[in-house]
Structure 1
């Protein structure tokens, strides 16, 4: 489990981090949408911190509960 993980504006490693989540934090997702960039996989999460309300997190940092 990752101690912290960034919520990115776009699903790319060089994208702006709009929020940082900590281990155990709950993130919301309205769909099961995903995206890939090179070897990285991202999942869509909802966040007020992103311009469009949609943020992206590395899939390895998210655990389904």
Structure 2
């Protein structure tokens, strides 16, 4: 999970397969060929973290 939607951004928390994250909004962002989705996390300065969209599955 990144602070900003960018692979060079600070990693604020590690998540693994099967971990549950809280959705923040349906907001998305892109950086070069990477897509990111916004998730809620208290680890980020603003309470919003970004994850690569390939790593997220809706349940």
Q: What TM-score comes out, normalization by structure 2 length?
A: 0.97
Query: Runs of 4+ in structure 1 displaced over 4 angstroms?
Result: none
Query: How many residue pairs are counted as aligned between the two chains?
Result: 59
Q: CA RMSD in A?
A: 0.5
The structure with the largest strand share of the pair is 1
Which consecutive residues of structure 2, in runs of 5 or more, have no partner in the other structure? Answer: none
Could you give the per-residue CA deviations for residues 13-60 of structure 1, whole angstroms, max 9, x where no partner exists? 100000001110110112100000000000000000000000000000
TM-score (structure 1 length as normaliser): 0.88
